[in-house]
Chains A and B, each alone.
Chain A
Amino acid sequence: MIGHGTSRTPPPLPPALEAWLAYEREIAPQPEMVRARALARAREALREGDVVFLAPRKAPAPVRRLLYATAAGLVLMAGTAAAYQMLRRPAPVPPPAEGHTQVVSAVAEPAPASAPAQQTALEPVAPAAPAVSPKASAPSRRTGVTAKNQARLEELRLLVRARQADARGDYLSVLSVLSEHERSFPTGRLSEEREVLRVKALVGLHRGGEARQVAANFRRQFPRSVLLHKIDDMLASLR
């Protein structure tokens, strides 16, 4: 189509469109009253001597260049300042040895001084744990942490303790911590993970009947849980 540019004539109109436009090509005269009014206004404007005209709204070129240069300079300065701030900010101190346990403690409360050193080999926390990231471990600049957040952190802290006990193979401690969790947070956000851990601990203690009972409750409570297959695997290991 654009190739018609060489021939200096655009392609002909489609016949249907041509038929429609033919109606519009004829320009009907305006009513006499409208014409008279328009001409009277034009004459009056000429008599009054005020002329409205269209003028290009362009700043003089040097002024525009100056404005652009100023804007660019400001943007550059802002970027430099931001980069400088980021480079000068002290890097967050990594938690010494306790992984997520320390992370949680740093926000919620000071870590217990007697934390065992072997906890470095902990496995990652339950799936919901990523809510607490290393970034969040840095002391919050906000003046107050809400009570809701504190409760969540406490809930997570309990579950992490249960995980640690599970990693050590101390299933009795696991059940103890989980009971504490259940008392404090009966409908907590991590109750799903808690019940899975409970089944795991009961299986570890070879208390198959209780494990199956807890698993059945779990199935009723969380019929669409992504952890169901884990529970099935644990129960299968009992046979």
Chain B
Amino acid sequence: MNQLRVASSQPRSGTVSSHTIDEACLDAYQRELDYLMRTLRRLGVDPDDVEDLAQEVFLVLRRNWRQYDPTRALKPYLFGIAFRVAASHRRKRWHEVPLGIIDEPDRGPSPDRTVEANQARAIVLDALNRVPLKRRAVLVMHDLDEIPVQDVATTLSIPLFTVYSRLRKARRELEAAVTHIQRRSVIR
């Protein structure tokens, strides 16, 4: 269980290093911003809330930047923060989250994408939203971000066995959801 808290981070003795950390953190955030925003969408965050939650992720990232091991990949670490922020957001607003179909609006120009790809992405995102968050996180990390299962287990603080079982079930649920959405679109 996590909670959002506001705490002051007044500059301490190491002001110079703090500035460096700020820059490094901001640089990493800038590099992974697209990934982060897409991940938040995959985790079921409403498009209107993505920017706010990305900002929260950044603040958490900055706060914990000293604990981050730069020799390891940033994406799993970022995903872990995004997952906890999204879960916390979901807990706070669970009664407001629509359970129906969430359509994926096309945000911004994308001349190189085909209509078919856009539709397919919308279907996948819609289907992902039907998979419970815990299992969805495992599936997104492993099957979409191609993060090894060991790293998934470490990032989400769950046993390896649990990763496998969640992944297996999430795949089944995703497949069923995609089939359902396709059928529904055919009927329409």
Contact = CB atoms under 8 A, between A and B. Distances in A.
Nearest to A16: B175
Contacts of B168: 1-2, 10-11
Nearest to B123: A20
Given A10-B168, A30-B108, A49 B64 contact: no
Interface in A1-45: 1-2, 4-5, 8-11, 13-14, 16-17, 20-21, 23-31, 33-35, 37-39, 41-43, 45
B160 interface: yes
A51 B63 contact: yes
A56 B1 CA distance: 6
Given A5-B160, A21-B124, A27 B38 contact: yes
Interface in A62-117: none
B149 A52 contact: no
B20 to A, nearest CB: 12
Interface of B: 1-11, 22, 26, 29-30, 33-35, 37-38, 42, 51, 54-56, 58-60, 62-64, 81, 84-85, 88, 107-110, 113, 117, 120-121, 123-125, 127-128, 142-144, 146, 149-150, 160-161, 164-165, 167-168, 171, 174-175, 178
B144 A50 contact: no
Contacts of B142: 10
11 contacts: A1-B168, A21-B124, A23-B120, A24-B42, A30-B37, A38-B51, A45-B62, A52-B7, A52-B63, A53-B63, A55-B2
B131 to A, nearest CB: 12
A39 B81 contact: no
B165 to A, nearest CB: 6
A30 B63 CA distance: 25
Nearest to B1: A57
A46 interface: yes
Nearest to B2: A54
B24 to A, nearest CB: 12
Determine the main DSSP class of B at the interface with A. Answer: helix
Given A30-B34, A38-B51, A51 B62 contact: yes
A17 B178 contact: yes
Contacts of B59: 45, 51-53
A20 B178 contact: yes
A39 B143 contact: no
A31 B108 contact: yes
Given A27-B35, A52-B56, A57 B143 contact: no
A13 B109 CA distance: 31
A54 B67 CA distance: 14
A46 B21 CA distance: 11
Contacts of B128: 24
Closest 10 A/B residue pairs (Cβ): A31-B108, A23-B120, A53-B63, A51-B9, A24-B124, A57-B3, A52-B59, A54-B2, A42-B58, A51-B63
A29 B32 CA distance: 10
Nearest to A18: B143
Contacts of A52: 4-7, 56, 59-60, 63
Contacts of A39: 26, 29-30, 33
Nearest to B84: A54
